[in-house]
Amino acid sequence: MKPSAMLSKWRFDQWTAFAAASLAFLLLAAIFGPLLSHYSAAEISDQSLARPSPLHWMGTDIHGRDLLTRLLCGARISFLVGFFGALVSLMIGSAYGALAGYAGGKVDRLLMQLVDLLYSLPTLIFVIVLIALLEAPLRKAFLAWQLTTLLPYIRIFLLFLGLGLVEWLTMARVVRSRVLVLKEALFVQAARVLGRSPWGILRHHILPHLLGIVAVYLTLTVPAVILSESFLSFLGLGVEPPSASLGTLLADGAQTINPIWTAWWLLVFPSGALAWTLWALNVLGDKLRDRLDPSSR
């Protein structure tokens, strides 16, 4: 291998290792950071819009709440929405794509035409409509069941569901294309000749060969869901206050922008955390795709 090629490969692996370390650091900070903080995420003080200092490392917001603590709690919620939304996408997309690819014929054409139809719809508008339709009935049901402690988490649950329901389309297409190839493989034909049922063939012979490509696109779906959640929260349709996500923190920072004075730390730190998280996830997803997805080579 030429020295220039070795240097390029080393740099790429170095960036991948840095992305993995960054993601691990962000996850640990989001999980354990709020527990170690001296402040509460909802604790209001008289130090409104205080600049970063040794007392408040990232300053405070307009209500005097510590921004670092709220940023860690917001990152935790954004990670939860991203991971659970991606899992919903994984379950629906994998099952749908495997069924379409293995059934073939008219069933395949019908199912994929439905996917094409859903692709033509604005996905975020679908999530907004879903939240608008289901939030009020769920609130009434929780009040009737005396589950008042769960009321602040209704919007988060709807974000899990809504974003997962709109992000599965790409997963379904990828799984279907792979199943179309695998069902013609010799070991699948041998299993069919031996009398294995279609469900048994899918479960024992096809699905295990999809783990690599599914893991790749699951990694790439997480940042897409996080970005969508941040955008919805920025519009005021995401996490309800006093809870916070990276999107709501950016929205709070945007409200302080005026021609006279701007609390820059309310924008710089949340946007930096969001950009860092998305970068780390996308780098790891690209690396996994290069390693596990044969079609990318």
Q: Please say whether the beta carbons of 70 and 244 come within 8 A.
A: yes
Residue 261: CB atoms within 10 A of its CB come to: 9
> What dihedral do alpha carbons 208, 211, 214, 218 form, nearest 10°?
140
Percentage of the chain with pLDDT > 90? Answer: 19
57-61, 141-145, 274-278: least confident range: 141-145
Residue closest to 288 by CA, chosen among 19, 27, 60: 19
Residue type, 122: P
List the structure tokens of 227.
């970005």
Query: Residues 205-224: what's their mean pLDDT?
Result: 82
Q: Please say whether the beta carbons of 194 and 206 come within 8 A.
A: no
List the structure tokens of 157.
């649950």
Q: Using 50, 70 and 90 to split pLDDT, how confident is the model at 12?
A: low
Q: Any residues with CB less than 8 A from the CB of 119 and at least 6 apart, and which?
A: 169
Encode pLDDT of 127-180 as tens digits: 888 888 888 888 888 888 877 777 777 888 888 788 888 888 888 998 998 898
Containing 227, the helix (H) or strand (E) segment is helix 211-234
- Indicate if the pLDDT at residue 289 is higher than 90: no
Q: Any residues with CB less than 8 A from the CB of 171 and at least 6 apart, and which?
A: 89, 90, 92, 93, 94, 97, 214, 217, 218, 221
Instruction: Give 51's DSSP letter.
Output: P
DSSP string of 151-199?
GGGHHHHHHHHHHHHHSHHHHHHHHHHHHHHHTTSHHHHHHHHTT--HH
Question: b vs e for 189-228, b when ≥16 Cβ sit within 10 Å of the residue's Cβ?
Answer: eebeeeebeeeebbeebbbeebeebbbbbbbbbbbbbbbb
List the structure tokens of 46.
């008289």
Instruction: Give 206's DSSP letter.
Output: I
Encode pLDDT of 69-103 as tens digits: 999 999 998 898 888 888 888 889 988 998 999 88
Percentage of the chain with pLDDT > 70? Answer: 94
List the structure tokens of 131.
């939240």
What is the set of domains in the chain, with CATH numbers?
66-296 (1.10.3720.10)
**Alpha carbon separation from 195 to 17, 58, 169, 244, 259 (Å, rounded):** 47, 65, 32, 55, 75
Rounded to whole angstroms, the Cα distance separating 185 from 183 reads 6
Per-residue model confidence (pLDDT) at position 60: 92
Per-residue model confidence (pLDDT) at position 233: 83
- Indicate if the pLDDT at residue 4 is higher than 80: no
Query: Residues 244-265: what's their mean pLDDT?
Result: 84
List the structure tokens of 109.
């054409």
Q: In angstroms, how far is CA 111 from the centroid of its own chain?
A: 25
